[in-house]
Amino acid sequence: MKLAILIPRYGDTKGDFTISLARMLVHSLGSAAPERLDIEIFSVSSSDLPASRTRLLQQAIAWQARYALWLDTDHVFPPDALLRLLKHKLSVVGVNQARRSEPTGPVAMRFDEGGAMEHVWTTEALAKAGAVEEVAHVGLAFTLIDLAMLHRVKAHVDASGPGWDQWQPFDRKLLPGTSARMGQDASFFQELRGAGVKVHVDHGLSWEIGHVGERVFTNADTIRDKAAWLSRSR
């Protein structure tokens, strides 16, 4: 099974990220893998993140990958992280990493009962329960995508947009009713949801993901800082 690892970067990668990637590759290609993986790494170095992500997705499609794993170069993760996401057999499943800020907060969002966006909080209890939750979007720091769903996306884009050849899925779209723009990852997941593709977050793996800043941020920090984060974002 062909799996493309997609790494946008600008400058050098973090040392702890490189070690995490090496350990994950050894584990994923070893005897623990339920199916033989043919892994290729694609990386683009540029300050234009939306363009980098578009190019990387195109490279994965051209290589005829079945899956694409997005990685950001300032994160750390356990060796079995890729195999754990593959076991879910979902179209899109990623992690809810802590933001690299103080106070910190989660990146994943979902729709509340009224249709408004709200934060998704990965708690230790959810992690221990192995909860997997449908969300509106996650970040792309560690996200696995089954590229088999792209035929649905292509049909949607051809019917409602400028056409597949002109598709720019990571261009930052305007938030409805505002002059502010959403992030490139949120824009991408909005495109997928428009084609009927569901997005999920793995809370168990999320608890083990670290975001490298001056220190490593984890979801334990998001729970500690929850009140401060919500107060700041009002």
Tens of pLDDT, residue by residue over 182-212, are: 788 888 898 899 889 999 999 999 999 999 9
Tell me what the mean pLDDT of segment 147-163 comes to: 83
Identify which of 123, 76, 78 has the alpha carbon closest to the alpha carbon of residue 222: 123
The whole-number pLDDT of residue 154 equals: 83
Q: Give the confidence band of 233 by pLDDT, cuts at 50, 70, 90.
A: low
Out of 42-46, 112-116, 229-233, the most confident range is 42-46
Write out the two tokens for 87: 């076991």
Q: Give the confidence band of 72 by pLDDT, cuts at 50, 70, 90.
A: very high
Between 85 and 216, the higher pLDDT residue: 85
* Eight-state DSSP code of residue 98: B
The whole-number pLDDT of residue 177 equals: 66
Does the structure show a pLDDT above 80 at 33? Answer: no
Q: What percent of the chain has pLDDT over 90?
A: 69
Q: Give the confidence band of 215 by pLDDT, cuts at 50, 70, 90.
A: confident
Q: Give the confidence band of 169 by pLDDT, cuts at 50, 70, 90.
A: confident
Which pTM value belongs to this model? Answer: 0.88
The whole-number pLDDT of residue 118 equals: 94
Identify which of 36, 33, 35, 39 has the alpha carbon closest to the alpha carbon of residue 21: 39
Between 156 and 87, the higher pLDDT residue: 87
Tell me what the mean pLDDT of segment 58-76 comes to: 95
Q: Give the confidence band of 176 by pLDDT, cuts at 50, 70, 90.
A: low
The whole-number pLDDT of residue 8 equals: 96
H/E stretch holding 39: strand 38-45
- Spell out a b/e string for 75-106, using b for 16 or more CB atoms within 10 Å of the CB, else e: bbbbbbbbbbbbeeebbbbbbbbbbbeebbbb
Tell me what the mean pLDDT of segment 78-82 comes to: 97
Give the mean pLDDT of the chain. Answer: 91
